[in-house]
Structure 1
Amino acid sequence: MEKPSYEEKASEGSVVPDQLFRPEVDTSNVNEKKLLRKIDLRIIPWLTFMYLLNFLDRGSIGNAKLYDLTTDIHVTDKQYLIALTVFFFPYALFEPASNVFLRKLRPSVWLSVMIFCWGITMTMHGVISNYGGLITVRVLLGFFEAGMYPGIVFYISSWYKRSELGTRVAWFFSSSTVAGAFSGLLAAAIANMHGVGKRPGWAWIFILEGLATVVVAFFSYWIIQDFPDTAKFLTEEERVFVIRRLQEDMQFSAAGETFHKKYVYKGLTDWKTWVAMGIYMGFDGPLYAFSLFLPSVINQASYKATQANLLSVPVYAWGCFMTCIIGFLGDRTGRRYYINLGLFGVGLIGYIILIASTKPALSYFAVYLAVSAIYPIIPNSVAWVASNVEGSYKRSVTLGMAIGFGNINGAITANIYRATDQPWYRLGHGIVLAYIAIGFACSVVFGVLLQRENARRNRGERDEIIEGVNNKHADEKNGRYESVQAARIDKGDEWSGFRYTI
């Protein structure tokens, strides 16, 4: 029987080209540091700005509530909590599929369309007049915003080495803390437009922020770059250099990957996906509780509406600072496991104080501990999970699943700060404390299992049979391949030579 041709095998995803990507291209004149700065400037700032708008639009309802949103549209406290809840169902459920579409389509197209659609939806928040309208716009906003966060994370992971990922994710995610701080200032300023066009101040918060997002969507199509193998702002030599350095970092799919159902299946059945879902649950639940209710928590602790919004500014500024510092330390030390445990530990202390506190000043201090844990732990965990999953489609599924499951918990934490529990909200703080404990436990499981798997590979227990290679540890159950390159591309992070980062 005639053996299949190289082209046939390549189309099946069972082999890769030469070990050195495009060996005919000379990249000796490419300066790596200058190239990284060039990529940083073209990729990160606009992603950061987009996510700032994303988080600002999503959480502005918390600020609008302080300016009589619920009173004007005749919504009860229970109905308001339901409106917050319904946002998370389409938001979480659409995330895994969105990441697959992002990989199949161009990021410049997919991300821009999402921004435009949620900008229109955000603007419509300003014209609602009843409970039904509020529910409708919140569901649509959740649907259209769904792919932004996992899409940006996956997109960044396609450009940088594993040791560079944490800092870049921290840079873009720090915009969420800026949005938290800026939303309070912006809401306080826009609320002064009360009565303009016969619209209340809270309506103008939604309208102006929504229109700004629509404008950004048009610019995004031209500014967002696609993946390294097609990026127009890079020279041919630079594109080849970027792909080679990613492949050297065990990102074997950096040069592109043909879609196969098995890659999606691998992502869905990988134990790392399911444990990562627990880690993301541990910080996403607290994140949404914190961002949606911080103004109310401060407000009910003896501070007035505008004062509460303004007092949230330094809290978020501190969170931004800590996010950037932890992102840098994670890349520099490579000890993301221990950083996760330390941050979750700080979060546990912060919420224990919030539960026990009966003084506004002490509660305000504990909020700083909470933000020191919740925001910095997100980019550290994202980088940790993303760097331990190889294969672009598999990584897109794993990140989509983990982030989606984490976000669905926002549907729970949107309901835990009840008006009947004011001013100290001990029930809400207790539930957030439980979430953080789950994140801590899942981080321990993730780290221990990765260490055990690395040890098995060091002992040769995962070695594949490679034709023409004499290896006493090789076992048929681990697969049979014609070359090391074929094993690498087919197995991804399951390849015996892949080592997980701890």
Structure 2
Amino acid sequence: MQEPKEDKEKNDDGHGHAIIQNNTEDRQEEDDTDREIIDPELDDKRLVRKLDMHIIPLVMALYCFSFLDRVNIGNARLYSMEPDLGLVSSQFQTAVSILFVTYVLCEIPSNLVLKKFTPRLWISFITTAWGVVAICQGFVQSYGGLLACRLLLGAFEAGLFPGLTVYLTMFYNKRELALRIGFLFVSAAIAGAFGGLLAFGIGHMDGVGGYHSWRWVFILEGLPNLALGAIVFFGLSNSPDSTGWLSPEEKADMVERREREYGHTASAQELHMEDVKKAFKDWKVWVFGIASFCTCNMLYGYSTFLPTIIQGMGKWTPEQVQLLTIPCYFLGVVTYMTVAYTSDRLQRRGVMCLVLGLVCIAGYAVLLSSASASARYAGCFLIAMGLYALVGLPIAWLPNNCPRYGKRTTATAIQTTIANLSGILAPQIYPSSEGPHYVKGNAISMSLVAMSTILYGFLWFWMARENRRREKRKAWLPHYQTMSEEEMADLGDEMFMGIKNLFSIIKDEAPDAIKEGEIKNQFGRKVAIDASMSIYSFLIAVRSDGQQLMNESGDTTSHLMGMFYRTLRMVDNGIKPLYVFDGAPPKLKSGELAKRFQRKQEAQEGLEEAKETGTAEDVEKFSRRTVRVTREHNAECQRLLKLMGIPYIVAPTEAEAQCAVLARAGKVYAAASEDMDTLCFNTPILLRHLTFSEQRKEPIQEIHVDKVLEGLGMEREQFVDLCILLGCDYLDPIPKVGPTTALKLIREHGSLDKVVQWMRTDPKAKERHVIPDDWPYEDARDLFFNPDVRQADDPLCDFKWEKPDTEGLVQFLVNEKAFSEDRVRNGAARLEKNMKSNQQSRIEGFFKVVPKTEEEKKAHKRKLEEQNEAKKKKLKVEKKEKAKAKAKPRGTA
């Protein structure tokens, strides 16, 4: 087989020796592209079914008995509990309400410790604890003893519902969550219906063991929790990664699902106080909480007092009343599961809340009327239709909009805490003296449901308007097309744009900021490398006969070839590389990602046409344009780096921003990327061409940001404004503003704010430069100054270069990807040898870098201001001369 040719095309990173067939021992080095994999819908459904099988039954059992133990006091009441304990006046209502005092106080703390103690241990503990307390209710002898048990029951049960809600978000995505939370409310309905049926049976145990029936209600319904506590301890998984019933491939799929849905990173799944604070500051969380308070009042009032309400409609025995509650709960379950399934598919929760709120209002109106008993019983069915949906849908709605664990956990706890305050109110509005119609209780419940309907309508309207506003903000971008979050997450860093023309400006205005040299000049230095950019360049450049490298199985290997051999080259030259992978793209980048997606679609169409009618050159050209970095590429490169002993980290968002943080903190000498916007994130030094092929003979460019600022006569704020004006990944440049004009405008006006103001107020400028009303330059500036990154003191930023796993490399690259075994073993030996010998540092490492004093900083600032002022004066002079030249009559000398 012939040796693969070196790619010379502009913007390519190097060459590659391909593995096209399994016996290609002489096909050699370098990059590999990944095969495109798409999450097969069939596999995803199979995975979800497996999750349901292992998670849902246990979760449902937990919440069923939790809810049953909370409300079974209403069933026990029918069997002489009040006279036995000597309860008078409103003491029963107080006993029901007081549970929610500790329930509300303990919800947020319980959710915040869930991660620390792990879901398995914490949920097992609280389940066992409330089971013991529930049983103890059957042995109380006084009103005081009952209150003590209810307080403890509330404290231990507080953490279950918010904890399970957060737990489910670890396994299910947005389009699956409402239905799964729906199973919790199915459990509540089962508890209501089964509780009535069970109480009907237990009612016949009066006198057994010397105890009245109400005591057996508490004892028998509390016992199953002890068994559940043990099952949770041994059977509940803390996270997808810790499950024993998911295969490694399924665990990888879970990671992909999570990232695709929320843009999650490992850091985002840890509890950070900053995320907790954001939850408390978000007004929408509090609106959700208030609305949930209104609907939960209905839930608790209905669930606890439905037997009493039905009993007041006619002359029925306690057993008949228990049976009459069952159809209501059954309808509530059917309605909610239908609505939950539909809302998951349509992702429309607000409109469902509006409709069902109106249905519940109609149900309460019937109960408040003087209609017959059968009509008022029908009103109970209308209320049941919205009973669980109005509570359950918002509990799925809110966490869907909180991708980070800390905010999601806290927001859910705030929501349920406020909601459960209604448990204190609900019993008080249904006093015995108001029976049998309970006008006051039903009127208050109807008013609160109406209020919740208005609030959910407002949230629906506000979110819809906000989404339209965001779409409008992006709509002016050429060729923009609306994309879902999943589609944007799929794009990844498929193409790089960076800052247009920035390098040419630096080269002209601040040439001293750029140093060029050989790779060996970087000996002894640690460098943070933009992995996503590198992988993309490998897929473009590492080819054979114009095609990406593949093994006999058809797997693309360009990305692996590039990552393996280019990393070896760096290590051979004394460099310690550290790779940084992109996390979820910032939402502000969605417009640029959508344009890239469209360009790739157009390129794909061109490729298909070229295959039919074009030349080999056309096929190769369009083939390059369709390249995209997928999750599998990233995952395979991360696996390879781990086997090579090379550290890597996944950034919360932009890899360049994370590289810059590590460079500023001294963790590495420089950030390495082809993206010039790395300078905007304030990396002290940017290295370019570091991962290029040796055959390209491209020198390593070393750009020093302090000299860039000095050469341009700018502070960092002005430099970032210049870059935004030139055009960055987050928004397009202003029409008819090229590099020369952009530089001139920033120097003349001093800031982008003033440039924009000038363009919007000056008649000539306004006509020439059309800026959208909502051009988000301030958002772009904020992303450069306050990117979402891991700080250098994060434990995950404590990097170690390890000994390579030779046999692991052979298994992966040779057995799975058909690389040459000799070359792989030789590369592993080079890695081990060089990593040992590269322990020595450069001489600069032995000297302490003394930062500038305040006086030196002020002097430097004055110098920059003077330079800037001189340039402004020069521009004014040039402007006057041009004006004079234009004013001269034609033909004059």
Q: TM-score normalised to the size of structure 1?
A: 0.88
- Paired position in structure 2 for 1:237: 249
- Paired position in structure 1 for 2:295: 283
- Paired position in structure 2 for 1:475: 777
Aligned partners of 1:253 and 1:489 also within 8 Å? no
Counterparts of 1:247-258 in structure 2, within 5 Å, are: 247-253=259-265, 257-258=269-270
Q: Is 1:333 matched up with 2:312?
A: no
Q: 1:483 Cα shift?
A: 11
Q: Is 1:441 matched up with 2:743?
A: no
Q: Is 1:353 matched up with 2:655?
A: no
Q: Is 1:222 matched up with 2:239?
A: no
- Paired position in structure 1 for 2:428: 415
Find the structure with the greater CA-based Rg.
Answer: 2
Q: 1:377 Cα shift?
A: 2.2
Q: Comparing 148-157 with 228-237, which one deviates more in the overlay?
A: 228-237
Q: CA 1:210–1:285 in structure 2 vs 1: closer, same or farther (change >3 Å)?
A: same
Distance in 1 (CA, whole Å) between partners of 2:789 and 2:379 is 47
Give secondary structure in 2 for the equivalent of 1:87: helix
Q: Which amino acid aligns with 2:131?
A: G
Q: 1:446 Cα shift?
A: 1.1
Q: 1:489 Cα shift?
A: 9.0
Counterparts of 1:122-133 in structure 2, within 5 Å, are: 122-133=134-145
1:310-341 C-alpha deviation (Å, 9 max, x unpaired): 11011111111112111111112221111110
Aligned partners of 1:247 and 1:254 also within 8 Å? no
Distance in 2 (CA, whole Å) between partners of 1:57 and 1:360 is 30
Q: Is 1:272 matched up with 2:284?
A: yes
Counterparts of 1:86-485 in structure 2, within 5 Å, are: 86-253=98-265, 257-302=269-314, 303-460=316-473, 463=588, 467=677, 469-470=728-729, 471-472=731-732, 473-476=775-778, 480-481=782-783
Aligned partners of 1:463 and 1:475 also within 8 Å? no
Q: Which amino acid aligns with 1:385?
A: L
Q: 1:229 Cα shift?
A: 2.8
Aligned partners of 2:271 and 2:405 also within 8 Å? no
Q: Percent identity?
A: 30
Q: 1:103 Cα shift?
A: 2.5
- Paired position in structure 2 for 1:16: none
Give secondary structure in 1 for the equivalent of 2:241: coil
Distance in 1 (CA, whole Å) between partners of 2:781 and 2:272 is 19
Aligned partners of 1:184 and 1:312 also within 8 Å? yes
1:426-472 C-alpha deviation (Å, 9 max, x unpaired): 11100100110111011012112212322333244984898353524
Q: 1:199 Cα shift?
A: 1.1
Give secondary structure in 2 for the equivalent of 1:229: helix
- Structure 1 unaligned segments of length 5 or more: list them: 1-22, 491-502
- Structure 2 unaligned segments of length 5 or more: list them: 1-33, 475-586, 590-653, 658-676, 679-727, 733-774, 792-893
Aligned partners of 2:351 and 2:457 also within 8 Å? no
1:53-83 C-alpha deviation (Å, 9 max, x unpaired): 1111111100000000011010114111111
Q: CA 1:127–1:251 in structure 2 vs 1: closer, same or farther (change >3 Å)?
A: farther
Q: 1:379 Cα shift?
A: 2.2
Q: CA 1:445–1:199 in structure 2 vs 1: closer, same or farther (change >3 Å)?
A: same
Q: Comparing 381-390 with 408-417, which one deviates more in the overlay?
A: 381-390
Give secondary structure in 2 for the equivalent of 1:225: coil
Give secondary structure in 2 for the equivalent of 1:414: helix
Aligned partners of 1:457 and 1:463 also within 8 Å? no
Q: Which structure has more helix as a fraction of its residues?
A: 1
Q: Which has the higher contact order (CA 8 A, sep 6+)?
A: 1
1:128-178 C-alpha deviation (Å, 9 max, x unpaired): 111101110011111110011111111111211111111111123211111
Q: Which amino acid aligns with 1:280?
A: S
Q: Which amino acid aligns with 2:441?
A: G
Q: 1:98 Cα shift?
A: 1.2
Q: CA 1:478–1:72 in structure 2 vs 1: closer, same or farther (change >3 Å)?
A: farther
Give secondary structure in 2 for the equivalent of 1:71: helix
Q: Which amino acid aligns with 2:453?
A: F
1:277-296 C-alpha deviation (Å, 9 max, x unpaired): 12211211100000010000
How many aligned positions are there? 467
Q: Comparing 366-375 with 167-176, which one deviates more in the overlay?
A: 167-176
Distance in 1 (CA, whole Å) between partners of 2:242 and 2:471 is 37
Distance in 1 (CA, whole Å) between partners of 2:60 and 2:790 is 32
Q: CA 1:84–1:378 in structure 2 vs 1: closer, same or farther (change >3 Å)?
A: same
Give secondary structure in 2 for the equivalent of 1:249: helix
Q: 1:120 Cα shift?
A: 0.3
Q: Which amino acid aligns with 1:165?
A: L
Q: CA 1:480–1:237 in structure 2 vs 1: closer, same or farther (change >3 Å)?
A: farther
Q: TM-score normalised to the size of structure 2?
A: 0.50
Distance in 2 (CA, whole Å) between partners of 1:483 and 1:233 is 44
The two structures, once aligned, show a CA RMSD in angstroms of: 2.5
Distance in 1 (CA, whole Å) between partners of 2:93 and 2:184 is 29
Q: 1:488 Cα shift?
A: 9.1
Q: Which amino acid aligns with 2:458?
A: V
Aligned partners of 1:355 and 1:424 also within 8 Å? yes
